[in-house]
Amino acid sequence: MMIFQIMATRIPLGISRSSNGCSTDPRLSGSGYEKCMQCGRCTASCPAAYTFDDYIPRSVMSRLALGMGDSLAEAVWRCGQCYSCRARCPRNNSVGEAVLALRERFGAEGRVPDTIKSVRSLLLNNLHSRGETFLPQMLTDKLLREFGPATYSRCAGNIEKRARLGYEKEDARACRIPDDAMEEIRHILTATGCSDTDDQK
Ligand code: SF4
Ligand code: SF4
């Protein structure tokens, strides 16, 4: 209970937003971390927390309140931006918004993990070539293990399961996207800065 009361306290003495390294990003203050009361509803509703043992949305907020945002450089890439945390927070906070601000900061500092870079590159490639993000054959044994034990146990052997149901392993859809729609998708991707050769961000 004592811990709970301490964490419910507003910014502790001597600690400011600037110590989190992205103080001017409106998403950080908009996330509401300063009024987080550590109830844990965000964690209970978070699919990433269910999947990854090392990702705890409630802790994202407490670390920000303590000026320890720098320690989240690995964890922030776990969030899937579903905003279940936002929907369930009794104080209308949003861990997902805080994560966006932190990701931008770590990206600008060149602190994006290699796994994230390579997944981003694969996603861009797939979007430009087929209009899809994940293709079934991307979910290799190695990648599934990196996504945590819960994902691995749920998805291992998916290609074989799809084959048994009559689906192709090269395509996540039942039918291909028409060529003219693909042209539009490529145009949107390029216009929004998502070139298929841009894999360094
Ligand atoms: S649900 Fe809201 S108040 Fe509760 S721990 Fe999460 S961010 Fe904080
Ligand atoms: S937005 Fe991120 S932190 Fe919030 S519930 Fe979804 S995965 Fe979890």
List of domains in the chain: 26-108 (1.10.1060.10), 114-191 (no CATH)
**Closest ligand to the CA of 41:** 1
Q: Residue 179: its pLDDT value, please? A: 92
This prediction's pTM: 0.75
Is the Cα torsion angle 141, 143, 148, 154 positive or negative in sign?
A: negative
CA 183 to centroid of ligand 2, rounded, Å? 32
Mean predicted confidence (pLDDT) in 178-196: 90
What is the dihedral sign for C-alpha 138, 141, 142, 143?
Answer: positive
Confidence at residue 16, expressed as pLDDT on a 0 to 100 scale: 52
Average pLDDT over residues 44-70: 93
| pLDDT tier, 112 (very low <50, low <70, confident <90, very high otherwise) | very high
What burial letters (b/e) apply to 74-106, b meaning 16+ CB within 10 Å?
ebbbbbeeeebbbeebeeebbbbbbbbbbbebb
22 CA distance to ligand 1 middle (Å): 20
In this structure, the number of other CB atoms found within 10 A of the CB of residue 149 comes to 12
Residue 155 or 44, more confident: 44
Q: Tell me what the pLDDT averaged over the chain comes to.
A: 83
Structural contact between residues 47 and 18, judged by C-beta atoms closer than 8 angstroms: no
For residue 198, the model assigns a pLDDT of: 53
Q: What is the position in ligand 1's atom list of the atom closest to the CA of 92?
A: 2
Overall average pLDDT of the 44-61 stretch: 93
**Residue 48's pLDDT band (boundaries 50, 70, 90)?**
very high
Residue 57 has pLDDT above 60, yes or no: yes
pLDDT at 18: 60
Query: 65-99 pLDDT, tens per residue?
Result: 999 999 999 999 999 999 999 999 999 999 999 99
Measured by CA distance, the residue closest to atom 5 of ligand 1 is 38
Give the Å distance between the CA of 37 and the centre of ligand 1.
Answer: 6
Ligand 2 atom nearest 80 alpha carbon: 7
Task: Write out pLDDT tens, residues 1-43.
Answer: 333 333 333 334 344 556 677 777 888 889 999 999 999 999 9
